Structure 1
Amino acid sequence: MLKTICYISDSCQEESLNTLKNLFSKAKKNNLKFNITGILIYSNANFLQVLEGNETNVNDTFKRISLDTRHRNLFKVIDINTQQRIFEDYNFGFTIVDSSKELNELNEYLEWLRKADNKLANKVVNMVENFITQKIAKQ
């Protein structure tokens, strides 16, 4: 059975670009190993991540994340069994909202998802868009 978990959290410190790239590289490697797809967004010391894949693998990955001392105020927004992946074609993307190129690519993908008219996808798209909008407004 497939599962989707979406969470938001605060970073315990303002992350440097190199630290974020290393974090993403490690996350992508682990997620490929466990066939997990999704998206990871970082902005203004906050993370939003969507994990999707085999229920056991997603639960185990989220548990590791929840024990990671780099996160605080971790809040699970979505925890649902599902029939299909939302971000399968996005190749576990990573977006730093300050990068206009990455933001444009993400917005194009979100628009494509919105047209798919999938209730869970639309819920996640709205959450990602709200996260991005709120973070940009704070800058």
Structure 2
Amino acid sequence: MKNIVYISTAVKLMHENQLLDILHNARLHNAALNISGVLLYSEGTFIQVLEGKDSVIDALYSRIQADQRHKNVIKLIDEPIAEKSFSQWLMGFTVTDSAKTEKLVGYLKSISDLDLNDGKGSAVAAIKTFIENNQLAVNS
């Protein structure tokens, strides 16, 4: 099992409905392949954690790299893991504008829903850094 964490830049700023389409499709795909993770978006920048079977994650990452909706895909982490940090999320998702986050009923109403406080590992550290750099508070 492994995780990959990457960042990328949207080709153009995305609207909520576009982000929700991405989320919906990711959740369907991830459920079928036992992939978990989280996707954060802030002002045109994505960070995503993908966790699952090595070959499945590698194939998905190749697909993501070819996606024309974003550019400058940079892999930050690619490492084996003993257990998933985001196992409860087929794809946890939020935008880092709290006003917009509140509108996404049924998705992450708060970044604190990710429960990063007890998480360990490089992927959790990368997500925490992204949140901090985008000035989104993580509630304890």
Identify the TM-score tier after normalising by the shorter chain. 0.7 to 0.9
Q: Compute the TM-score of the two structures, normalised by the length of structure 1.
A: 0.84
Shift of 1:131: 0.8
In structure 1, the residue matched to 2:105 is: none
In structure 1, the residue matched to 2:39 is: 40
**d(CA) in 2 for partners of 1:124, 1:81:** 11
Alignment of 1:112 onto 2:112:
no
Instruction: Count residues in correspondence.
Output: 127
Q: Map 1:37-116 onto structure 2 (within 5 A).
A: 37-98=36-97, 99=101, 101-106=109-114, 109-113=115-119
Q: Which consecutive residues of structure 2, in runs of 5 or more, have no partner in the other structure?
A: 103-108
- The letter of the residue matching 1:104 is S
Tell me, what secondary structure is at the counterpart of 2:14? coil
Consecutive aligned runs of 4 or more in structure 1 exceeding 3 Å deviation: none
**d(CA) in 2 for partners of 1:94, 1:18:** 13
In structure 1, the residue matched to 2:126 is: 127
8 Å contact kept, 2:5–2:49: yes
Offset from partner CA, 1:113-136 (integer Å, 9 cap, x none): 2xxxx4x2xx22221121112223
Q: Percent identity?
A: 32
**d(CA) in 2 for partners of 1:24, 1:53:** 17
In 2 relative to 1, CA 85–104 (structure 1 residues): closer, same or farther, beyond 3 Å?
closer
Bigger helix fraction: 1
8 Å contact kept, 1:37–1:91: yes
Q: Compute the TM-score of the two structures, normalised by the length of structure 2.
A: 0.83
8 Å contact kept, 1:96–1:102: no
Q: Which consecutive residues of structure 1, in runs of 5 or more, have no partner in the other structure?
A: none
**Aligned-residue CA RMSD in angstroms?**
1.6
**d(CA) in 2 for partners of 1:5, 1:76:** 7
